[in-house]
Structure 1
Amino acid sequence: MAENLQVELVAADRVVWSGEATMVIARTIEGDVGVLRGHAPMLSVLTDAVVEISPVDGPVVVASADGGFISVANDRVSVLSAHVLLAEEIDVDAARTELEKAQGLIGSDDEAEQRIRRAEARIRAVEKAR
Structure 2
Amino acid sequence: MDNNDKNEYLDNSELEKSKSHIIVEIIEYMANAVVIKTIIKKSTGNISIMSFDSGEGLTEKTSPFDTFAQIIEGKAEIVIDSKSNYLESGQGIIIPAHAPNFIKPNGRFKMIQTIIKSGYE
Shared fold, TM over 0.5 = no
Of Structure 1 and Structure 2, the greater helix share is in 1
Q: TM-score, normalised to structure 2's length?
A: 0.26
Q: TM-score, normalised to structure 1's length?
A: 0.25
Larger radius of gyration: 1
